[in-house]
Structure 1
Amino acid sequence: MRTVTVGTRRSQLAVIQTEWVIQRLQKNIPEDWKLELEKMITRGDQILHVTLSKVGGKGLFVKEIEQALLDERIDLAVHSMKDMPGEQPEGLTFGAVTLREDPRDCLLSRSGLKLEDLPENAIVGTSSLRRQAQILAFRPDLKVEPVRGNLNTRYKKLMDGQFDAIVLAYAGIQRMGWEDKVTQILSEEVMLPAVGQGALAVQCRFNDHEIMEALQRINDLETEQTVSAERTFLHAFEGGCHLPIAGYAVLVEDEIRLRGRVAHPSGRTVLKGERKGKNPEEVGRLLAKDLMEKGARKLLDEVREGEEQ
Protein backbone atom coordinates (compact mmCIF):
# COMPACT_ATOMS: atom_id res chain seq x y z
CA MET A 1 0.00 0.00 0.00
CA ARG A 2 1.21 3.51 -0.81
CA THR A 3 0.15 6.56 1.20
CA VAL A 4 0.16 9.63 -1.05
CA THR A 5 0.33 12.92 0.85
CA VAL A 6 -1.25 15.90 -0.91
CA GLY A 7 -0.04 19.33 0.24
CA THR A 8 -2.07 22.54 0.18
CA ARG A 9 -2.38 25.93 1.85
CA ARG A 10 -4.73 26.06 4.85
CA SER A 11 -7.26 28.57 3.52
CA GLN A 12 -10.81 27.36 2.96
CA LEU A 13 -10.55 27.96 -0.80
CA ALA A 14 -7.22 26.10 -1.08
CA VAL A 15 -8.66 23.10 0.79
CA ILE A 16 -11.82 23.07 -1.38
CA GLN A 17 -9.64 23.14 -4.52
CA THR A 18 -7.42 20.34 -3.24
CA GLU A 19 -10.37 18.15 -2.24
CA TRP A 20 -11.77 18.66 -5.77
CA VAL A 21 -8.47 17.38 -7.23
CA ILE A 22 -8.36 14.46 -4.77
CA GLN A 23 -11.88 13.36 -5.83
CA ARG A 24 -10.80 13.23 -9.47
CA LEU A 25 -7.50 11.55 -8.67
CA GLN A 26 -9.24 8.91 -6.54
CA LYS A 27 -10.76 7.43 -9.72
CA ASN A 28 -7.38 7.25 -11.47
CA ILE A 29 -5.05 5.62 -8.94
CA PRO A 30 -4.34 2.00 -7.93
CA GLU A 31 -6.79 0.60 -5.34
CA ASP A 32 -4.05 0.14 -2.74
CA TRP A 33 -3.14 3.86 -2.71
CA LYS A 34 -4.41 6.04 0.11
CA LEU A 35 -4.62 9.82 -0.36
CA GLU A 36 -4.00 12.05 2.67
CA LEU A 37 -4.38 15.84 2.92
CA GLU A 38 -1.62 17.94 4.51
CA LYS A 39 -2.52 21.58 5.25
CA MET A 40 0.46 23.92 5.33
CA ILE A 41 1.15 27.57 6.20
CA THR A 42 3.13 29.62 3.69
CA ARG A 43 4.88 32.93 4.19
CA GLY A 44 2.24 34.58 2.00
CA ASP A 45 -0.42 33.50 4.51
CA GLN A 46 1.53 35.06 7.37
CA ILE A 47 2.51 38.44 5.88
CA LEU A 48 -0.81 40.24 5.58
CA HIS A 49 0.02 43.88 6.23
CA VAL A 50 1.72 44.73 2.91
CA THR A 51 1.07 44.10 -0.78
CA LEU A 52 2.62 40.97 -2.31
CA SER A 53 4.74 42.91 -4.80
CA LYS A 54 6.63 44.51 -1.89
CA VAL A 55 7.51 41.25 -0.14
CA GLY A 56 8.53 38.93 -2.94
CA GLY A 57 5.48 38.42 -5.11
CA LYS A 58 3.49 35.30 -5.87
CA GLY A 59 6.21 32.78 -4.87
CA LEU A 60 5.38 33.50 -1.23
CA PHE A 61 2.39 31.16 -1.48
CA VAL A 62 4.35 28.17 -2.76
CA LYS A 63 7.94 28.09 -1.45
CA GLU A 64 7.27 26.10 1.74
CA ILE A 65 5.06 23.65 -0.14
CA GLU A 66 7.67 23.17 -2.87
CA GLN A 67 10.33 22.54 -0.22
CA ALA A 68 8.11 19.87 1.36
CA LEU A 69 7.87 18.20 -2.07
CA LEU A 70 11.65 18.30 -2.53
CA ASP A 71 12.14 16.90 0.99
CA GLU A 72 9.63 14.10 0.19
CA ARG A 73 7.39 15.11 3.12
CA ILE A 74 4.52 15.34 0.62
CA ASP A 75 4.05 13.62 -2.75
CA LEU A 76 2.09 16.21 -4.69
CA ALA A 77 0.73 19.72 -4.16
CA VAL A 78 -2.28 21.63 -5.44
CA HIS A 79 -1.80 25.33 -6.21
CA SER A 80 -3.80 28.07 -7.90
CA MET A 81 -1.91 28.39 -11.19
CA LYS A 82 -1.91 32.19 -10.92
CA ASP A 83 0.19 31.89 -7.72
CA MET A 84 2.97 30.01 -9.51
CA PRO A 85 6.23 31.86 -10.37
CA GLY A 86 7.55 31.57 -13.92
CA GLU A 87 10.14 28.92 -13.02
CA GLN A 88 9.88 25.82 -10.86
CA PRO A 89 12.68 24.51 -8.63
CA GLU A 90 14.88 21.84 -10.21
CA GLY A 91 13.32 18.43 -9.68
CA LEU A 92 9.69 19.62 -9.65
CA THR A 93 7.16 19.75 -12.48
CA PHE A 94 3.44 20.12 -13.18
CA GLY A 95 2.00 16.62 -13.28
CA ALA A 96 -1.38 18.04 -14.26
CA VAL A 97 -3.10 21.29 -15.13
CA THR A 98 -6.82 20.97 -14.43
CA LEU A 99 -9.74 22.02 -16.61
CA ARG A 100 -9.99 25.79 -16.30
CA GLU A 101 -12.92 27.47 -14.54
CA ASP A 102 -14.16 30.93 -15.60
CA PRO A 103 -10.93 33.00 -15.62
CA ARG A 104 -12.54 36.44 -15.23
CA ASP A 105 -12.44 38.79 -12.26
CA CYS A 106 -15.56 39.96 -10.46
CA LEU A 107 -16.66 42.92 -8.36
CA LEU A 108 -18.37 42.65 -5.00
CA SER A 109 -19.78 45.99 -3.88
CA ARG A 110 -21.67 46.84 -0.69
CA SER A 111 -24.06 49.15 -2.51
CA GLY A 112 -24.73 46.72 -5.34
CA LEU A 113 -23.30 49.26 -7.82
CA LYS A 114 -21.24 48.14 -10.80
CA LEU A 115 -17.67 49.38 -11.40
CA GLU A 116 -18.84 52.02 -13.88
CA ASP A 117 -21.48 53.31 -11.42
CA LEU A 118 -19.43 53.57 -8.21
CA PRO A 119 -19.29 57.17 -6.91
CA GLU A 120 -16.16 59.27 -7.42
CA ASN A 121 -13.43 58.49 -4.85
CA ALA A 122 -15.06 55.18 -3.94
CA ILE A 123 -12.50 52.81 -2.35
CA VAL A 124 -11.88 49.55 -4.18
CA GLY A 125 -9.84 46.86 -2.41
CA THR A 126 -7.27 44.70 -4.18
CA SER A 127 -3.62 43.83 -3.53
CA SER A 128 -3.05 42.91 -7.18
CA LEU A 129 -1.11 45.48 -9.22
CA ARG A 130 -2.71 44.00 -12.36
CA ARG A 131 -6.21 44.69 -11.03
CA GLN A 132 -5.19 48.09 -9.64
CA ALA A 133 -3.77 49.29 -12.97
CA GLN A 134 -6.80 48.15 -14.97
CA ILE A 135 -9.32 49.63 -12.49
CA LEU A 136 -7.51 53.00 -12.60
CA ALA A 137 -7.22 52.88 -16.40
CA PHE A 138 -11.02 52.44 -16.57
CA ARG A 139 -11.93 54.73 -13.64
CA PRO A 140 -9.02 57.06 -12.70
CA ASP A 141 -11.29 58.83 -10.17
CA LEU A 142 -11.50 55.77 -7.89
CA LYS A 143 -9.17 55.00 -4.99
CA VAL A 144 -7.52 51.57 -4.93
CA GLU A 145 -6.29 50.32 -1.56
CA PRO A 146 -4.65 47.00 -0.60
CA VAL A 147 -6.71 44.23 0.97
CA ARG A 148 -4.97 40.99 2.00
CA GLY A 149 -6.12 37.80 3.69
CA ASN A 150 -8.24 34.86 2.56
CA LEU A 151 -11.62 35.31 0.85
CA ASN A 152 -13.55 35.25 4.12
CA THR A 153 -11.32 37.97 5.61
CA ARG A 154 -11.58 40.18 2.53
CA TYR A 155 -15.35 39.82 2.37
CA LYS A 156 -15.65 40.72 6.06
CA LYS A 157 -13.54 43.86 5.50
CA LEU A 158 -15.88 44.85 2.66
CA MET A 159 -19.01 44.33 4.75
CA ASP A 160 -17.43 46.16 7.73
CA GLY A 161 -17.23 49.26 5.54
CA GLN A 162 -13.48 49.42 4.97
CA PHE A 163 -14.09 49.31 1.20
CA ASP A 164 -16.91 50.24 -1.14
CA ALA A 165 -16.03 47.28 -3.36
CA ILE A 166 -13.44 44.53 -3.75
CA VAL A 167 -12.25 42.64 -6.84
CA LEU A 168 -11.74 38.86 -6.69
CA ALA A 169 -11.21 35.95 -9.09
CA TYR A 170 -14.60 34.59 -10.12
CA ALA A 171 -13.24 31.01 -10.19
CA GLY A 172 -12.56 31.19 -6.43
CA ILE A 173 -16.03 32.61 -5.82
CA GLN A 174 -17.55 29.71 -7.76
CA ARG A 175 -15.54 27.13 -5.84
CA MET A 176 -16.71 28.70 -2.56
CA GLY A 177 -20.34 28.73 -3.75
CA TRP A 178 -20.51 32.51 -3.32
CA GLU A 179 -22.04 33.45 -6.69
CA ASP A 180 -24.91 35.26 -4.94
CA LYS A 181 -22.42 37.76 -3.42
CA VAL A 182 -21.17 38.93 -6.84
CA THR A 183 -22.29 42.35 -8.12
CA GLN A 184 -20.64 42.14 -11.53
CA ILE A 185 -18.43 39.83 -13.57
CA LEU A 186 -15.88 42.14 -15.19
CA SER A 187 -15.45 41.90 -18.96
CA GLU A 188 -12.03 41.00 -20.35
CA GLU A 189 -11.97 44.38 -22.12
CA VAL A 190 -12.01 46.15 -18.74
CA MET A 191 -10.06 43.57 -16.73
CA LEU A 192 -7.90 41.04 -18.58
CA PRO A 193 -7.33 38.07 -16.25
CA ALA A 194 -4.11 37.06 -14.51
CA VAL A 195 -1.91 34.48 -16.19
CA GLY A 196 -3.25 31.03 -15.23
CA GLN A 197 -6.32 32.38 -13.42
CA GLY A 198 -9.06 29.77 -13.06
CA ALA A 199 -6.72 26.77 -13.49
CA LEU A 200 -5.14 24.59 -10.82
CA ALA A 201 -1.55 23.33 -11.00
CA VAL A 202 -0.80 19.91 -9.51
CA GLN A 203 2.93 19.82 -8.80
CA CYS A 204 5.04 16.74 -8.10
CA ARG A 205 8.62 15.44 -8.25
CA PHE A 206 9.90 14.90 -11.77
CA ASN A 207 11.27 11.46 -10.93
CA ASP A 208 8.11 10.12 -9.22
CA HIS A 209 6.89 8.24 -12.26
CA GLU A 210 3.92 6.57 -10.51
CA ILE A 211 2.49 9.92 -9.43
CA MET A 212 3.26 11.50 -12.81
CA GLU A 213 1.37 8.73 -14.59
CA ALA A 214 -1.68 9.09 -12.32
CA LEU A 215 -1.73 12.89 -12.65
CA GLN A 216 -1.60 12.77 -16.45
CA ARG A 217 -5.06 11.17 -16.33
CA ILE A 218 -6.58 14.33 -14.82
CA ASN A 219 -4.60 16.73 -17.00
CA ASP A 220 -6.60 18.96 -19.38
CA LEU A 221 -4.54 19.37 -22.54
CA GLU A 222 -6.28 22.54 -23.79
CA THR A 223 -5.80 24.30 -20.44
CA GLU A 224 -2.19 23.09 -20.28
CA GLN A 225 -1.44 24.58 -23.72
CA THR A 226 -3.19 27.93 -23.21
CA VAL A 227 -1.67 28.41 -19.74
CA SER A 228 1.75 27.52 -21.15
CA ALA A 229 1.44 30.39 -23.67
CA GLU A 230 0.41 32.78 -20.88
CA ARG A 231 3.22 31.71 -18.55
CA THR A 232 5.85 32.03 -21.30
CA PHE A 233 4.56 35.57 -21.92
CA LEU A 234 4.75 36.44 -18.21
CA HIS A 235 8.18 34.87 -17.72
CA ALA A 236 9.68 37.10 -20.42
CA PHE A 237 9.09 40.09 -18.11
CA GLU A 238 10.32 38.52 -14.89
CA GLY A 239 13.56 39.28 -13.11
CA GLY A 240 12.46 41.01 -9.95
CA CYS A 241 10.01 43.29 -11.74
CA HIS A 242 6.67 44.08 -10.18
CA LEU A 243 4.84 45.26 -13.25
CA PRO A 244 1.08 44.82 -13.73
CA ILE A 245 0.88 42.06 -16.36
CA ALA A 246 -2.24 40.32 -17.65
CA GLY A 247 -2.43 37.46 -20.13
CA TYR A 248 -5.22 35.23 -21.34
CA ALA A 249 -5.14 32.59 -24.08
CA VAL A 250 -7.89 30.55 -25.70
CA LEU A 251 -7.81 27.77 -28.28
CA VAL A 252 -9.68 28.77 -31.45
CA GLU A 253 -9.98 25.71 -33.69
CA ASP A 254 -6.35 24.49 -33.57
CA GLU A 255 -4.71 27.87 -32.93
CA ILE A 256 -3.80 29.57 -29.67
CA ARG A 257 -4.99 33.17 -29.41
CA LEU A 258 -3.15 35.06 -26.66
CA ARG A 259 -3.97 38.58 -25.51
CA GLY A 260 -1.63 40.42 -23.18
CA ARG A 261 -1.37 43.70 -21.31
CA VAL A 262 1.49 45.42 -19.55
CA ALA A 263 0.62 48.53 -17.54
CA HIS A 264 1.95 51.18 -15.23
CA PRO A 265 0.54 50.63 -11.69
CA SER A 266 -1.18 54.04 -11.93
CA GLY A 267 -3.14 52.85 -14.99
CA ARG A 268 -2.01 55.86 -17.00
CA THR A 269 -0.20 53.64 -19.53
CA VAL A 270 -1.60 50.30 -20.70
CA LEU A 271 0.16 48.46 -23.54
CA LYS A 272 -1.95 45.84 -25.32
CA GLY A 273 -1.18 43.14 -27.85
CA GLU A 274 -2.38 39.88 -29.37
CA ARG A 275 -0.69 36.92 -31.07
CA LYS A 276 -1.93 33.71 -32.66
CA GLY A 277 -0.09 30.50 -33.45
CA LYS A 278 0.16 26.76 -32.91
CA ASN A 279 3.17 26.63 -30.55
CA PRO A 280 2.26 27.90 -27.04
CA GLU A 281 5.78 28.97 -26.00
CA GLU A 282 6.44 30.70 -29.31
CA VAL A 283 3.14 32.63 -29.12
CA GLY A 284 4.02 33.75 -25.57
CA ARG A 285 7.55 34.81 -26.53
CA LEU A 286 6.43 36.73 -29.62
CA LEU A 287 3.72 38.65 -27.76
CA ALA A 288 6.22 39.62 -25.04
CA LYS A 289 8.61 40.81 -27.77
CA ASP A 290 5.81 42.86 -29.38
CA LEU A 291 5.01 44.62 -26.11
CA MET A 292 8.68 45.18 -25.31
CA GLU A 293 8.96 46.96 -28.65
CA LYS A 294 5.83 49.01 -27.85
CA GLY A 295 7.51 50.35 -24.69
CA ALA A 296 7.17 47.68 -22.00
CA ARG A 297 10.91 47.74 -21.29
CA LYS A 298 10.81 51.51 -20.73
CA LEU A 299 7.80 51.03 -18.46
CA LEU A 300 9.69 48.33 -16.57
CA ASP A 301 12.66 50.61 -15.98
CA GLU A 302 10.38 53.46 -14.90
CA VAL A 303 8.58 51.32 -12.31
CA ARG A 304 11.87 49.86 -11.03
CA GLU A 305 13.40 53.33 -10.63
CA GLY A 306 10.29 54.46 -8.74
CA GLU A 307 10.63 51.52 -6.34
CA GLU A 308 14.31 52.28 -5.66
CA GLN A 309 13.74 55.95 -4.83
Structure 2
Amino acid sequence: MAKVHDGELDAVVLAYAGLSRVHRADEATEVFDPLEFLPAPAQGALAVECRADDADTIAAITTIADSKAYACAHTERVVLARLEAGCTAPVAAYATVAADNIMTLHAAVIAMDGSATLRATAAGPIDTAENLGMTVARALLDDGASSLLAAS
Protein backbone atom coordinates (compact mmCIF):
# COMPACT_ATOMS: atom_id res chain seq x y z
CA MET A 1 0.00 0.00 0.00
CA ALA A 2 2.97 2.26 0.50
CA LYS A 3 3.67 2.09 -3.24
CA VAL A 4 0.15 3.38 -3.93
CA HIS A 5 0.57 6.17 -1.38
CA ASP A 6 3.97 7.03 -2.89
CA GLY A 7 2.58 7.11 -6.44
CA GLU A 8 4.57 4.10 -7.68
CA LEU A 9 1.33 2.19 -8.32
CA ASP A 10 -2.13 3.39 -9.25
CA ALA A 11 -3.85 0.61 -7.32
CA VAL A 12 -3.32 -2.69 -5.57
CA VAL A 13 -5.75 -5.54 -4.89
CA LEU A 14 -5.43 -7.00 -1.40
CA ALA A 15 -7.44 -9.39 0.72
CA TYR A 16 -9.89 -7.43 2.85
CA ALA A 17 -9.51 -10.01 5.61
CA GLY A 18 -5.79 -9.30 5.67
CA LEU A 19 -6.37 -5.56 5.90
CA SER A 20 -8.81 -6.15 8.75
CA ARG A 21 -6.33 -8.36 10.54
CA VAL A 22 -3.71 -5.57 10.56
CA HIS A 23 -6.33 -2.92 11.41
CA ARG A 24 -6.11 -1.15 8.05
CA ALA A 25 -9.50 -2.00 6.54
CA ASP A 26 -10.41 1.69 6.62
CA GLU A 27 -7.81 2.25 3.88
CA ALA A 28 -9.74 0.12 1.38
CA THR A 29 -11.34 2.32 -1.25
CA GLU A 30 -13.26 -0.48 -2.94
CA VAL A 31 -14.49 -3.83 -1.66
CA PHE A 32 -15.40 -6.26 -4.42
CA ASP A 33 -18.74 -8.02 -4.26
CA PRO A 34 -17.93 -11.74 -4.52
CA LEU A 35 -20.74 -12.18 -7.03
CA GLU A 36 -19.14 -9.62 -9.35
CA PHE A 37 -15.54 -10.67 -8.74
CA LEU A 38 -15.83 -14.40 -8.08
CA PRO A 39 -13.01 -15.88 -5.98
CA ALA A 40 -11.00 -19.00 -6.72
CA PRO A 41 -12.68 -22.25 -5.62
CA ALA A 42 -12.44 -22.74 -1.84
CA GLN A 43 -10.64 -19.41 -1.46
CA GLY A 44 -10.32 -18.67 2.22
CA ALA A 45 -11.31 -22.14 3.39
CA LEU A 46 -9.16 -23.47 6.19
CA ALA A 47 -8.55 -27.07 7.16
CA VAL A 48 -7.13 -28.62 10.28
CA GLU A 49 -5.53 -32.04 10.12
CA CYS A 50 -4.52 -34.25 13.01
CA ARG A 51 -3.66 -37.84 13.84
CA ALA A 52 -6.62 -40.23 13.70
CA ASP A 53 -5.90 -41.37 17.28
CA ASP A 54 -5.72 -37.85 18.78
CA ALA A 55 -9.10 -37.75 20.53
CA ASP A 56 -8.50 -34.42 22.29
CA THR A 57 -7.64 -32.59 19.07
CA ILE A 58 -10.52 -34.23 17.23
CA ALA A 59 -12.89 -33.08 19.98
CA ALA A 60 -11.55 -29.53 19.78
CA ILE A 61 -11.78 -29.45 15.99
CA THR A 62 -15.34 -30.72 16.09
CA THR A 63 -16.39 -27.69 18.13
CA ILE A 64 -15.17 -25.28 15.45
CA ALA A 65 -16.18 -27.26 12.37
CA ASP A 66 -18.68 -25.51 10.10
CA SER A 67 -20.61 -28.00 8.00
CA LYS A 68 -22.01 -25.31 5.70
CA ALA A 69 -18.56 -23.85 5.03
CA TYR A 70 -17.27 -27.36 4.36
CA ALA A 71 -20.13 -28.03 1.93
CA CYS A 72 -19.45 -24.75 0.11
CA ALA A 73 -15.72 -25.42 -0.23
CA HIS A 74 -16.36 -29.00 -1.35
CA THR A 75 -18.91 -27.92 -3.97
CA GLU A 76 -16.56 -25.27 -5.32
CA ARG A 77 -13.80 -27.88 -5.58
CA VAL A 78 -16.15 -30.26 -7.41
CA VAL A 79 -16.41 -27.62 -10.15
CA LEU A 80 -12.63 -27.41 -10.40
CA ALA A 81 -12.25 -31.20 -10.49
CA ARG A 82 -15.03 -31.72 -13.06
CA LEU A 83 -13.43 -29.10 -15.29
CA GLU A 84 -10.14 -30.99 -14.85
CA ALA A 85 -8.53 -27.68 -13.94
CA GLY A 86 -5.71 -27.03 -11.51
CA CYS A 87 -5.42 -24.40 -8.84
CA THR A 88 -3.78 -21.94 -11.25
CA ALA A 89 -6.49 -22.27 -13.90
CA PRO A 90 -8.70 -19.24 -14.61
CA VAL A 91 -11.66 -20.77 -12.77
CA ALA A 92 -13.78 -19.10 -10.12
CA ALA A 93 -16.47 -20.53 -7.87
CA TYR A 94 -18.47 -19.16 -4.97
CA ALA A 95 -21.10 -21.07 -3.01
CA THR A 96 -23.36 -19.74 -0.28
CA VAL A 97 -26.00 -21.38 1.90
CA ALA A 98 -29.16 -19.52 2.87
CA ALA A 99 -31.01 -19.95 6.15
CA ASP A 100 -33.32 -22.50 4.51
CA ASN A 101 -30.28 -24.70 3.62
CA ILE A 102 -30.50 -23.89 -0.07
CA MET A 103 -27.04 -23.65 -1.59
CA THR A 104 -26.38 -21.30 -4.49
CA LEU A 105 -23.27 -21.88 -6.56
CA HIS A 106 -21.84 -19.33 -8.98
CA ALA A 107 -18.88 -20.31 -11.17
CA ALA A 108 -16.93 -18.91 -14.08
CA VAL A 109 -14.16 -19.77 -16.50
CA ILE A 110 -12.22 -16.82 -17.87
CA ALA A 111 -9.98 -16.64 -20.92
CA MET A 112 -6.38 -15.92 -19.94
CA ASP A 113 -6.42 -12.70 -21.96
CA GLY A 114 -9.76 -11.65 -20.47
CA SER A 115 -11.50 -11.76 -23.84
CA ALA A 116 -14.22 -14.19 -22.77
CA THR A 117 -15.99 -15.20 -19.58
CA LEU A 118 -18.37 -18.09 -19.16
CA ARG A 119 -20.64 -18.09 -16.12
CA ALA A 120 -23.08 -20.58 -14.66
CA THR A 121 -25.26 -20.56 -11.56
CA ALA A 122 -27.45 -23.17 -9.92
CA ALA A 123 -29.20 -23.64 -6.60
CA GLY A 124 -30.47 -26.61 -4.64
CA PRO A 125 -30.65 -28.21 -1.21
CA ILE A 126 -27.33 -28.37 0.63
CA ASP A 127 -27.54 -32.16 0.77
CA THR A 128 -27.21 -32.19 -3.04
CA ALA A 129 -24.09 -30.02 -3.00
CA GLU A 130 -21.90 -32.39 -4.98
CA ASN A 131 -24.51 -32.74 -7.73
CA LEU A 132 -24.84 -28.95 -7.76
CA GLY A 133 -21.12 -28.64 -8.46
CA MET A 134 -21.36 -31.21 -11.24
CA THR A 135 -24.36 -29.42 -12.77
CA VAL A 136 -22.59 -26.06 -12.84
CA ALA A 137 -19.40 -27.59 -14.26
CA ARG A 138 -21.41 -29.37 -16.97
CA ALA A 139 -23.08 -26.09 -17.94
CA LEU A 140 -19.67 -24.42 -18.25
CA LEU A 141 -18.33 -27.31 -20.33
CA ASP A 142 -21.41 -27.20 -22.56
CA ASP A 143 -20.73 -23.48 -23.11
CA GLY A 144 -17.12 -24.10 -24.19
CA ALA A 145 -15.05 -24.02 -21.00
CA SER A 146 -12.72 -26.73 -22.30
CA SER A 147 -11.44 -24.51 -25.09
CA LEU A 148 -10.82 -21.61 -22.71
CA LEU A 149 -8.99 -23.89 -20.29
CA ALA A 150 -6.93 -25.50 -23.06
CA ALA A 151 -5.59 -22.08 -23.98
CA SER A 152 -4.48 -21.35 -20.42
Residue equivalent to 2:82: 236
1:261 aligns with 2:119: no
Contact 2:80/2:86 (<8 A) preserved: no
Q: 1:245: Cα distance to partner?
A: 1.2
Higher strand share: 1
Match of residue 297 from structure 1: 146
Q: 1:241 to 1:231 in 2, by over 3 A?
A: closer
User: Structure 2 length normalisation: TM-score?
Assistant: 0.84
The change in CA–CA distance for 1:167 and 1:289 in structure 2 (over 3 A counts) is: same
CA drift at 1:274: 0.6
**Of 152, 163, 172, which aligns to 2:18?**
172
Partner of 1:202: 48
Q: Secondary structure at the match of 1:187?
A: coil
Alpha-carbon deviations, 1:201-225, whole Å to 9, x = none?
A: 2233445443222201111222122
Question: Which has the greater radius of gyration?
Answer: 1
Whether the 8 Å CA contact 2:90–2:149 is kept in 1: the answer is no
Which amino acid in the other structure matches residue 184 of structure 1?
Answer: E
Q: TM-score by structure 1 length?
A: 0.44
8 Å Cα contact 1:171/1:198 also seen in 2: no
User: How many Å separate the matches in 2 of 1:202 and 1:159?
Assistant: 37
Calculate percent identity across the aligned residue pairs: 35
Q: Residue 137 of structure 2 corresponds to which residue in structure 1?
A: 288
Contact 1:243 1:264 in 2 (8 A): no
Deviation of 1:164 after TM superposition, in Å, equals: 0.6
Separation in structure 2 between the aligned mates of residue 207 and residue 293 of structure 1, nearest angstrom: 45
Cα distance in 2 between the residues matched to 1:223 and 1:257: 13
Residues 199 and 287 from structure 1, CA distance in 2 versus in 1: closer, same or farther, beyond 3 angstroms? same
In structure 2, what is the equivalent of residue 182 of structure 1? 28
Structure 2 residue aligned with 1:75: none
Instruction: State the shift of 1:229 in Å.
Output: 1.1
CA contact (8 A) 2:35 2:106 kept: no
Q: Is residue 211 of structure 1 aligned with residue 54 of structure 2? A: no
> 1:249: which partner in 2?
95
Structure 1: runs of 5+ lacking an equivalent? 1-154, 304-309
Equivalents in 2 of 1:208, 1:159: separation in Å? 49
Distance in 2, matches of 1:284 and 1:265, equals: 23
CA root-mean-square deviation: 2.1
Structure 2's unaligned 5+ residue stretches are none
Q: Aligned AA for 1:287?
A: V
Matching of residue 275 in structure 1 with residue 117 in structure 2: no
Q: Aligned partner of 2:65: which letter? A: N
Question: How far did residue 289 of structure 1 move?
Answer: 1.4
Give the match for residue 159 of structure 1. 5
8 Å CA contact retained: 1:271, 1:291 = yes
Deviations 1:153-176 (Å, cap 9, x if unpaired)?
A: xx2343343321111222222222
Superposition deviation, residue 243 in structure 1 = 2.3
Could you tell me which amino acid in structure 2 is paired with residue 233 of structure 1? V
- Following superposition, the deviation at residue 234 of structure 1 comes to 2.0
SS at match of 2:65: coil
In 2, the alpha carbon distance for the partners of 1:187 and 1:159 equals 24
